Amino acid sequence: MVRELPTRARIVIADDHPLFRFALVALLRECPDFEVVGEAADGHEALKLCSRLNPDLVLMDVIMPGMGGIEAVRAIKQELPRTIVLMMTASVDPSHLAEAIKAGAAGYILKSACPEEIIGAVRAVLAGESPLNQEVAMRLLVEVMEGETPRAGGESLAAAPSASKTPSGDAPSCLLESLTAREKEVLGLVVRGQTNQQISRNLLISASTAKHHVQHIISKLRVSDRTQAAVVAVRAGVLTQEGEE
């Protein structure tokens, strides 16, 4: 089932820079729909906090001492597959971001973003939208599919142990069979990076109907967000099929 969010989304922040973490906590606490329930200085602390608090969303720095952000995402998603994770990064490194999405992240926020952009990205992903723009989303999904981005030690993304399964351990092809024809059509547009508004225009349906379809897809594929739903589709060959039409 789709994770039902409370009135105030419960958020954990993981970053090894105390000043940045303090500023981010202060920013989010100004929003009545957010509740910062925990702070962590590294991946180990983030994992412990998430295990105890089961937050709705984690803002995770990519590079931290000890257990880094990508390793922490992988561990958190294995234990809490419905928890959304947004990466925070100082610069767009496609190899880091592709690996983060492969690990289960919904996308990223630039640390240099203005407060309104950060708040907007958090609200968007909690509402089922993607924080990634279409060009970035497609590039990262292609890298996940084709294994073009090397992992530490030379292992490709495609060769990673979880490459053929969702965070919950189910084969993508089996879960995709549970989708209706319309939901598969919507998923194809999600893979292309389209927003709910764009989907509604393309399929001549209302934006609210498009949103409900996306929510049902996320639920049926047992993932936390639309980015991870697209990853499941890519691994099952949906992107290839769309590109051949």
- Of the pLDDT bands very low, low, confident and very high (cuts 50, 70, 90), residue 33 is very high
| pLDDT at residue 122, as a whole number | 94
Rounded distance, CA 122 to CA 100, Å?
17
Amino acid at 221: L
The answer, yes or no, to whether residue 237 has pLDDT greater than 80, is no
Rounded distance, CA 125 to CA 132, Å?
10
Contacting residues for 135 by C-beta, under 8 A, at least 6 apart: 193
Domain 9-139, classified CATH 3.40.50.970, yes or no: no
pTM (2 decimals)? 0.76
Rounded distance, CA 143 to CA 205, Å?
31
Quick: pLDDT tens for 93-118: 777 788 888 899 998 888 889 999 99
- Of the pLDDT bands very low, low, confident and very high (cuts 50, 70, 90), residue 241 is very low
Task: Tell me phi and psi for residue 178, to 5 degrees.
Answer: -80, -10
CA-wise closest residue to 74 among 143, 166, 193, 136: 166
Assigned CATH class of 165-244:
mainly alpha
CA-wise closest residue to 119 among 34, 35, 193, 177: 34
Quick: pLDDT tens for 120-156: 999 989 988 877 765 566 666 666 656 544 343 333 3
For the chain, domain boundaries: 9-139, 165-244
CA-wise closest residue to 24 among 126, 135, 110, 149: 110
Please report where in the chains the tokens 């290839």 appear, as a residue: 240
Extended strands (E) in the chain = 9-14, 34-40, 57-61, 84-89, 107-110
Query: Which range among 28-32, 91-95, 118-122, 204-208 shows the weakest confidence by mean pLDDT?
Result: 91-95
Rounded distance, CA 96 to CA 69, Å?
10
CA-wise closest residue to 227 among 78, 76, 115, 126: 126
> Residue 166, Cβ neighbours under 10 Å: how many?
22
Rounded distance, CA 87 to CA 122, Å?
11
Residue 154 has what DSSP assignment? G
- Of the pLDDT bands very low, low, confident and very high (cuts 50, 70, 90), residue 168 is very low
Rounded distance, CA 161 to CA 23, Å?
37
Rounded distance, CA 243 to CA 245, Å?
6
CB-based contact 72:88 (threshold 8 Å):
no
- Average pLDDT of the segment spanning 27-39: 96
